[in-house]
């Protein structure tokens, strides 16, 4: 049972906001599906690191998640900065259950156990944002990360974030400190595109 990680799919199956207008994104849906089916088995887990759908509401995600539902593996979702459809856990779990999508799990104030590993994480936030509101969001995200790691107990922890905790010349010290505190050895993140 393998764990795969991918972020920033920016799905728009309804065609309203196709990423194909950007260089390097041509035929990305076809490539995504072909590569996913070639690599992922039904018993595997795929962690989606946020910015999964351009939809603005949960109802508008139907085509995007229906597509992902057709792909093999269990999917673990983390919120990204463009996931405006993201709402409460109860609403998302109920909505996905109503669609019959039993292969999705949400990583939000919790951890997901897989093959003895605790999959922990949160969206995180921009470390260089100086506004008071940004400081509040970062504090909340650090609380969520801590809650996720605490839920893991003594299991080996792997952390998944949307925002990178480390950049070439700086880092999100609050997040990095929590990773050290919980002795996290592996951290995967999204938010970056192409050569960034």
Q: Are residues 78 and 150 in the same domain?
A: no
Q: Which domain holds residue 141?
A: 107-186
Q: Are residues 43 and 139 in the same domain?
A: no
Q: How far apart are CA 145 and CA 147, in angstroms?
A: 5
Q: Is the dihedral of CA 90, 93, 96, 97 positive or negative?
A: negative
Domains in the chain: how many in total?
2
pLDDT digits (tens, 9 = 90+) for 107-156: 999 999 999 999 999 999 876 656 677 788 899 999 999 999 999 999 99
SS3 174: helix
CB 124 within 8 A of CB 175: yes
Cα distances from 90 to residues 53, 93, 105, 110, in angstroms, run 19, 5, 12, 13
Q: Are residues 54 and 79 in the same domain?
A: yes
Q: Are residues 123 and 99 in the same domain?
A: no
Hey, how many other C-beta atoms are within 10 angstroms of the C-beta on 180?
Answer: 9
pLDDT digits (tens, 9 = 90+) for 61-89: 999 999 999 999 999 999 999 999 999 99
pLDDT digits (tens, 9 = 90+) for 10-29: 998 776 766 555 566 677 78
């Amino acid at each position: 049972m393998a764990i795969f990680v991918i972020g920033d799919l920016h799905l728009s199956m309804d065609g309203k906001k196709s990423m194909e207008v950007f260089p390097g994104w041509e035929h990305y849906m076809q490539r995504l599906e072909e590569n996913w089916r070639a690599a992922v088995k039904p018993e595997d887990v795929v962690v989606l690191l946020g910015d999964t759908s351009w939809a603005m509401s949960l109802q508008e995600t139907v085509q995007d998640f229906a597509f992902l539902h057709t792909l093999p593996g269990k999917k673990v979702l983390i919120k990204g900065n463009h996931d405006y459809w993201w709402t409460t856990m109860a609403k998302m779990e109920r909505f996905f259950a109503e669609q019959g999508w039993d292969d999705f799990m949400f990583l939000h104030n919790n951890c997901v156990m897989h093959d003895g590993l605790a999959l922990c994480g949160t969206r995180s936030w921009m470390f260089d944002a100086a506004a008071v509101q940004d400081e509040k969001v970062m504090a909340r995200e650090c609380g969520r990360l801590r809650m996720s790691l605490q839920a893991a107990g003594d299991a080996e922890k792997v952390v998944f974030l949307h925002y990178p905790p480390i950049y070439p010349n700086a880092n999100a010290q609050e997040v990095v400190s929590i990773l050290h505190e919980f002795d996290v050895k592996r951290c995967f993140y999204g938010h970056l595109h192409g050569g960034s």
